[in-house]
Structure 1
Amino acid sequence: MNKASYLWTTQLLSYHPGGISIKIPIPYGKEFVDLDVQIPHEVIAPNQVEVGDLSQIITDSLNNPVGTGSLNEFIKNSDKILILVNDATRPTPTSKVLAEMADILREHEDVRFMVATGAHRGPNEEEYRYIFGETYDEFKDRIFVHDARKDEDMEYLGVSSNGTEMYLNKMVNECKNIIVIGSVEPHYFAGYTGGRKAFLPGVASYKTIEMNHKHALSDAAQPLAIRGNPVAEDMEDAMKVLKDLNVFSIQTVLTADHGLYAMVSGDLFESFDIAVERANEVFCSKCSRKGNIVLTAAPYPMDIDLYQSQKALENGKLALEDDGIIILVSKCRDGVGDDTFLNLLCCANTCEDVMCKIDEGYKLGYHKAAKMAQIGVYAEMWAISELEDETIRSAKLTPCKDIQETFDRAVERIREQGKEPYAVILPQGSLTVPLLE
């Protein structure tokens, strides 16, 4: 089934309280697996929105920025330019935006690009071409990759009011004229992606990212939360040390199948705030009730590893009853990812033990372990992936292989507990925030 059919299905047949049998396509890697559901359920997916012409959306946004002059003016008035782009774990349409900007970029003598990886690994050749598209061969000699672990590449710029020491890649302050290309969608502990995230964690040192992400242990660090969220507030506060930078922000908002819904350019904060409103129109979906079974999938490319796929669990838990079963579906194509969180989960016998060990001292990645352990305290966590069973067990998840068989087993388990099964299914769990009515 193609993506268009998949989206049509999940939207049109989104609520079945009477238990009508229906096949629901679940993404697994780049393919879809039909799930036959014969119990009362509802499918929670990103909302269908009307999409205009891609080139026109980009052109209109670049020519009508908020809070700043046009992109042309920015480029003409900048002696050096550094363009920050997302890595391949985000479906940001960077290549499409760069293609529209290519002519004016060619006219400038000193334009460089940096893949803002945060603490992630750098891209491989396939991922470079995914990020840069048709502009890659022309600009590849000017592309740099941020490495948070290379202290020699970092420069200390100050400290936030929360105590986060801002060490950023030297190239940022050297160029001072920064174009940011990001995408805004709900994020499980930062509130939203995009905007200020290009700098922290995008081009920050490992130490800086670790200090910021420690705030993710707070209960207030949740999807959609900005005010009162210590992670989001620390990011915004940390940007004060970058007040001397000249930033032109390009923030995209995508549909669930990665089409371009909206783009807002101009001032970093104004463009982000507007993009947040547009992102809510896509990714916040009403949910009539919680389920004792929640199946939540990490769609490609967010299924790159277990570290990234955890976001689907975090969104799914918002629709999960206590003592229920949550099923993660993700290929985890690159394995575990940053294994710090897995090492912590491995050395603890129970999810309660994980939380106790985190209290003894924080390391980057522990927030992932904490978020997973918090679910495991009150619910069962199952996972369908290509990871080794022992690896899945180490993460305090029950390993499973077949989507249909696993779902049917969950239904039986709930019935054995004397409860009527009710399922909430998130085919795009990494991108969908259930809003309980």
Structure 2
Amino acid sequence: GLIEPHFMAGFSGGRKLICPGLAGLDTVRAWHSPRFLEHPNANNGCLAGNPVHEENTLIARRTGCDFIINTVIDDHRRILAVFAGDMEAALDEGVAFVRGVVTDTVPEPVDVVVTSSAGYPLDATYYQSIKGMVAALDIVKPGGTIVLAAAVSEGIGSPEFRGLFDETPSLDVFMDRIARDDYFVMDQWQLEELAKVRRKAKVKLVTDGLPAETVARLFVEPAASVEAAVEQCLAEYGAGATIAVIPKGPYVLAQLG
């Protein structure tokens, strides 16, 4: 398994090899439900009090795991470290190592965050690109703007995920739907993560992969370039607006501190 920041479970690796890795659909559905994902600790880099992490750790314990191997890689996909042995102990050691590598801080929330989804494969689809938006969430001001550059070369995502945009007039309507026990669509959790972002900030998407009219249906604003998006933000927030840049959003723990 690979240990890196994860926008729901805190970090990947360890117990995630079993849940959701080996889990049935009913378990995947429950584990990705608003009951878990709407908790404030279901977030990048957070394990303490994170119900997503706690639930799949419990499932993995009950399933049983005798030995695990986790790796950490650099931005050239070379192995930096290997953590093996007990499922939980190896994950804890790996997480401590990763925190030291990927954490960076800003002293206070900023008006604008310029980021990316770290290139292929994490920006191949709009579904994956949402991870870059979530990575900026902790440091952007309420009412601020996230400028995301992503190729989106393979389109929006799965047929189920694409269909959500066709049948969802607003994110408020979507959140009401997923709160019902009788509603479930595969990949709905990614739109829920987008809803989290949009409750706090605006998003401008810079991409060559989708036409502007399609982007406008995805609950974000299209922008012709990063430069144009930043100019629009400065016009809105003023010349003294604060801006942070996260070159590879999903691989960085951007925090206040």
- Using the size of structure 2 for normalisation, the TM-score is 0.89
> 1:236-275 counterparts in 2 under 5 A?
236-243=57-64, 245=65, 247-275=66-94
Match of 1:400 in 2: 223
Counterpart amino acid of residue 228 in structure 2: E
> 1:336-375 counterparts in 2 under 5 A?
336-360=156-180, 361-375=183-197
Q: How far did residue 341 of structure 1 move?
A: 4.3
The secondary structure found in structure 1 opposite 2:205 is strand
| d(CA) in 2 for partners of 1:352, 1:420 | 33
The secondary structure found in structure 2 opposite 1:292 is strand
Distance 1:229 1:338, change over 3 A: farther
* Alignment gaps of 5+ in structure 1: 1-181
Q: How far did residue 425 of structure 1 move?
A: 0.9
Q: How far did residue 217 of structure 1 move?
A: 2.9
Choose from 20, 23, 26 the match for 1:201. Answer: 20
Counterpart amino acid of residue 211 in structure 2: E
Q: How far did residue 432 of structure 1 move?
A: 0.9
| d(CA) in 1 for partners of 2:104, 2:160 | 33
Match of 2:245 in 1: 425
Match of 2:131 in 1: 311
Match of 2:211 in 1: 388
Match of 2:41 in 1: 220
Match of 1:436 in 2: 256
Choose from 103, 112, 116 the match for 1:284. Answer: 103
The secondary structure found in structure 1 opposite 2:44 is coil
Contact 1:253 1:279 in 2 (8 A): yes
| d(CA) in 2 for partners of 1:315, 1:186 | 9
Counterpart amino acid of residue 350 in structure 1: S
- Using the size of structure 1 for normalisation, the TM-score is 0.54
Choose from 286, 291, 297 the match for 2:116. Answer: 297
Q: What do residues 97-126 of structure 1 show as CA deviations (whole Å, max 9, x unaligned)?
A: xxxxxxxxxxxxxxxxxxxxxxxxxxxxxx
Q: What do residues 5-63 of structure 1 show as CA deviations (whole Å, max 9, x unaligned)?
A: xxxxxxxxxxxxxxxxxxxxxxxxxxxxxxxxxxxxxxxxxxxxxxxxxxxxxxxxxxx
Contact 1:346 1:395 in 2 (8 A): no
The secondary structure found in structure 1 opposite 2:124 is coil
* Alignment gaps of 5+ in structure 2: none
Distance 1:346 1:317, change over 3 A: farther
Report the RMSD for the aligned CA atoms in angstroms. Answer: 2.0
The secondary structure found in structure 2 opposite 1:318 is coil
Contact 1:209 1:364 in 2 (8 A): no
| d(CA) in 2 for partners of 1:291, 1:258 | 31
| d(CA) in 2 for partners of 1:315, 1:335 | 21
Q: How many residues align?
A: 251
Q: What do residues 121-159 of structure 1 show as CA deviations (whole Å, max 9, x unaligned)?
A: xxxxxxxxxxxxxxxxxxxxxxxxxxxxxxxxxxxxxxx
Contact 1:351 1:377 in 2 (8 A): no
Q: How far did residue 234 of structure 1 move?
A: 1.1
Counterpart amino acid of residue 250 in structure 1: I
Q: How far did residue 253 of structure 1 move?
A: 1.6
Q: How far did residue 229 of structure 1 move?
A: 1.2
| d(CA) in 2 for partners of 1:257, 1:284 | 18
| d(CA) in 2 for partners of 1:251, 1:391 | 39
Q: How far did residue 339 of structure 1 move?
A: 4.5
The secondary structure found in structure 2 opposite 1:221 is coil
